[in-house]
A and B are shown apart, each in its own frame.
Chain A
Amino acid sequence: MLIPIYGFVEGDTMGVLVLAEERESVSSLTSKLLDAVSLRVDVNYQYEAIYQGHVLAPDATVVQSDLRPLQRLDLKRKHDVPEGSHNR
């Protein structure tokens, strides 16, 4: 089942809709979201996923992270040091 999530990546000018799969990892969802905004955002940084004020574990699945439809998910830069290909 696909879960629609509002994604906001630090450095972007807008929010986008991303469809998460229940068994998908947070890390995979992060990559999907970064790919979606890469035209506007330099995504060569380390990012952490933040949902309702909590940092999500990258290995946890979408269901384990209790991501709900039509809620806000943020990707915030962990460090302002480019990481090359860490995320992409």
Chain B
Amino acid sequence: MLNREDWLPLARKLDWEFSYVDEKEVYPEIVSGRPWLTHSAWKDWEESFKTSYREYVENQHEKDMAVYAVRDAVGRLENVQSLATPWINGLKVHAAALPLAEFTATIGNLRSARFGRDSAWRAMASFGALDEIRHTQIPLLLMHELVRWDSQFDWTHKFYHTNNWLAIAARHFFDELTLGQNAIEFQIATNIVLETGFTNLQFVGLASLAHGAGDYMFEKMVTSIQTDEARHAQIGHPVLGLVMRHDPEYAQYLIDKWFWRNWHLFSFLTGVTMDYLTTGEQRSASFKEFMEEWIVDQFFRTLDEFGLKRPWYWDIFQEELEVYHHMMYASAYTYRSTLWFDLVLPGPDDRRWLGNKYPKHWNEIEAVWQRIDDRWKRSGAGAEKEMSVHAAVLPAFCDLCQFPLCGGTPRNNTANTLELNGASYIFCSEPCRWIFQKEPERYAAHKDLVKRVLAGEAPADFTALRTEYFQLTPGTWGKDVYGGDYEWLSANPHSS
């Protein structure tokens, strides 16, 4: 009987020369990716885990049992009910955005399990696909059952099946990242930028905030998922290394493009949760500080490792790090009935804290919150007053990231337009415009929400838009967490 060290390489490195078909037909560039190289260039592809299927199943079983044990101990409904209300709404954001996005990564991994250019890569991608099924099932299991208590948790399943504006943005991202992507771009974008980079915001930053919030179930869930990601993300490094050797300009483009695309998505998902839906005493660091420690530093190490340069837009990114998610949150608060979770009005202590953490433009953001304060003061608190403190015209959306046009600062919004082949496009930022112009054939046909309304594909009437197109109901659409009933607000009745 062979030892593990003898049989495992036989199974993992099982490539052969094709006798009756061309290698390019087996691995067409459109699905396998570019640069297209013969297998001789890929034959030394290797990753460090070298897991067997038996070991994989045993490890995953142990991890699943640990998650179940934590759920049984601290993940019951009464545990969730004891959490701070804003944090529960941060959970709703992740419950909706996470599980089915993970499922699209199953499909991306399965594509690599067939079209990856070396058998060891394909073997690891098979495990990656199984991982992503697990990452779909765990949050569905843990969070969708909360629908019995709070109907907004229905969006755990529902989110990606709606045309909610945030779902359009998230779907635009994941459709490109995982569903409609070739194997090489998928591995670099997913493993290097998303999993080695931005998901650290969830696995380290948000997990630590969850611990502070007393949400041990969420903490356990994301740390358990992290152990899988750390393994299958290893695919990306040897893929990027080879692309870098053969087409460094393309490698740089993929890194630059996907860092920016991730940045905008995570600014909303994580930035909003960390800085607004986490209550004061639970905060250990700001979103910006987590970004700098866990994303930027790691990103620089990756760039150094591969001889890549900082993205050309780095100054723009650093400027957005100061203000973008604040622009997004203040905007979203005034359109909260277009979302499936409730939003909180930041109080004086929160604003002081945010002002200290984000001194560069906070005074401009503070002015917006004061305006909203004044509207609550004039209308008075209560569920029936919600729409008195709510915007009613259609927001405008970026034709690349599909998020509202919240780039720049309140003093200087950075939205910019483009005419191309007789059509008009608008972008929230220069990097979004740059990505679009690099691959217009990929993006030009996608209609943002405004264009859907103008084409008659979505209702122009705001109420119909929320109910028919976004699939919200008065019971599920977002409200102020406290119905505008804040002690500090009524204690300061001055209105401008």
Shortest Cβ gap from B147 to chain A (Å): 31
A20-28, A34-42, A55-63 - interface stretch: A34-42
* Complex: chain B residue closest to A14, CB-CB: B331
Given contacts A4-B450, A13-B410, contact A40 B394 (CB under 8 A): no
Once the chains bind, are A40 and B454 in contact (CB under 8 Å)?
no
Interface string of A58-83 (1 = CB under 8 A from B): 00000000001111100000000000
Shortest Cβ gap from A53 to chain B (Å): 13
* Complex: chain B residue closest to A52, CB-CB: B417
Interface size class of B (residues with CB under 8 A): 35 or more
Shortest Cβ gap from B453 to chain A (Å): 8
Q: Is A18 an interface residue (CB 8 A)?
A: yes
Taking CB atoms, residues of chain B closer than 8 Å to A11 are: 364, 367-368, 410-411
Q: Which of A3-52 contact B (CB under 8 A)?
A: 4, 6-8, 10-18, 36-42
Q: Among the listed A4, A15, A41, which residue makes an inter-chain contact with B415, where contact means beta carbons less than 8 Å apart?
A: A15
Once the chains bind, are A12 and B367 in contact (CB under 8 Å)?
no
Once the chains bind, are A15 and B395 in contact (CB under 8 Å)?
yes
Interface string of B448-464 (1 = CB under 8 A from A): 00100110000000000
The distance in angstroms between the C-alpha atoms of A54 and B354, with both chains bound, is 36
Interface centre among B326, B410, B424, B454 (most CB of A within 10 A): B410
The distance in angstroms between the C-alpha atoms of A72 and B408, with both chains bound, is 15
Once the chains bind, are A6 and B330 in contact (CB under 8 Å)?
no
Once the chains bind, are B424 and A36 in contact (CB under 8 Å)?
no
Q: Is B201 an interface residue (CB 8 A)?
A: no
Q: Among the listed A7, A8, A13, A72, which residue makes an inter-chain contact with B368, where contact means beta carbons less than 8 Å apart?
A: A13
Interface centre among A7, A10, A13 (most CB of B within 10 A): A13
Once the chains bind, are A14 and B365 in contact (CB under 8 Å)?
no
B96-104, B189-197, B385-393 - interface stretch: B385-393
Q: Is B327 an interface residue (CB 8 A)?
A: yes
Q: Which of B3-40 contact A (CB under 8 A)?
A: none
Shortest Cβ gap from A79 to chain B (Å): 15
Taking CB atoms, residues of chain B closer than 8 Å to A18 are: 393
Interface size class of A (residues with CB under 8 A): 20 to 34
Taking CB atoms, residues of chain A closer than 8 Å to B328 are: 13
Taking CB atoms, residues of chain A closer than 8 Å to B454 are: 4
Q: Is B372 an interface residue (CB 8 A)?
A: yes
Q: Is B406 an interface residue (CB 8 A)?
A: yes
Once the chains bind, are A40 and B334 in contact (CB under 8 Å)?
yes
Taking CB atoms, residues of chain A closer than 8 Å to B139 are: none
Shortest Cβ gap from B459 to chain A (Å): 14
Interface string of B377-411 (1 = CB under 8 A from A): 00000000000011111111000000011100011
* Complex: chain B residue closest to A32, CB-CB: B393
A interface, over-half SS? loop
Taking CB atoms, residues of chain B closer than 8 Å to A69 are: 424
Taking CB atoms, residues of chain A closer than 8 Å to B172 are: none
Given contacts A70-B426, A72-B417, contact A13 B330 (CB under 8 A): yes
Once the chains bind, are A14 and B404 in contact (CB under 8 Å)?
yes
Given contacts A6-B426, A39-B334, contact A16 B396 (CB under 8 A): yes
Once the chains bind, are B424 and A71 in contact (CB under 8 Å)?
yes
Shortest Cβ gap from A1 to chain B (Å): 13
Once the chains bind, are B415 and A16 in contact (CB under 8 Å)?
no
Taking CB atoms, residues of chain B closer than 8 Å to A72 are: 415-417, 426
Q: Among the listed B365, B393, B415, B416, which residue makes an inter-chain contact with A36, where contact means beta carbons less than 8 Å apart?
A: B393
Once the chains bind, are B413 and A39 in contact (CB under 8 Å)?
no
Interface centre among B327, B405, B416, B453 (most CB of A within 10 A): B405
Once the chains bind, are A17 and B367 in contact (CB under 8 Å)?
no
Interface centre among A4, A36, A39, A68 (most CB of B within 10 A): A39
Interface string of B347-377 (1 = CB under 8 A from A): 0000000000000000011011001100100
The distance in angstroms between the C-alpha atoms of A69 and B423, with both chains bound, is 10
The distance in angstroms between the C-alpha atoms of A35 and B415, with both chains bound, is 21
Once the chains bind, are B395 and A39 in contact (CB under 8 Å)?
no
Once the chains bind, are B413 and A15 in contact (CB under 8 Å)?
yes
The distance in angstroms between the C-alpha atoms of A8 and B424, with both chains bound, is 17
Once the chains bind, are A40 and B396 in contact (CB under 8 Å)?
no
Taking CB atoms, residues of chain A closer than 8 Å to B421 are: none
* Complex: chain A residue closest to B404, CB-CB: A14
Q: Which 9 A-B pairs have the closest CB atoms?
A: A15-B405, A70-B424, A14-B331, A15-B396, A36-B393, A13-B327, A17-B394, A13-B330, A13-B331
Can you pick out 30 interface pairs between chain A and chain B where the beta carbons lie within 8 Å of each other? A6-B415, A11-B411, A12-B410, A13-B327, A13-B406, A14-B396, A14-B404, A14-B405, A15-B405, A15-B413, A15-B415, A17-B394, A17-B450, A36-B391, A36-B393, A38-B371, A39-B371, A39-B391, A40-B331, A41-B368, A41-B410, A42-B496, A68-B424, A69-B424, A70-B417, A70-B426, A71-B417, A71-B424, A72-B416, A72-B426
- Which B residues lie at the A interface, using CB under 8 A? 326-328, 330-331, 334, 364-365, 367-368, 371-372, 375, 389-396, 404-406, 410-411, 413, 415-417, 424, 426, 450, 453-454, 496
Q: 20 extra interchain contacts, Cβ-Cβ under 8 A, other than A8-B405, A17-B395?
A: A4-B450, A6-B415, A6-B417, A7-B396, A11-B364, A11-B368, A11-B410, A12-B413, A13-B331, A13-B368, A14-B327, A14-B396, A15-B405, A16-B391, A17-B453, A36-B391, A36-B392, A40-B331, A72-B417, A72-B426
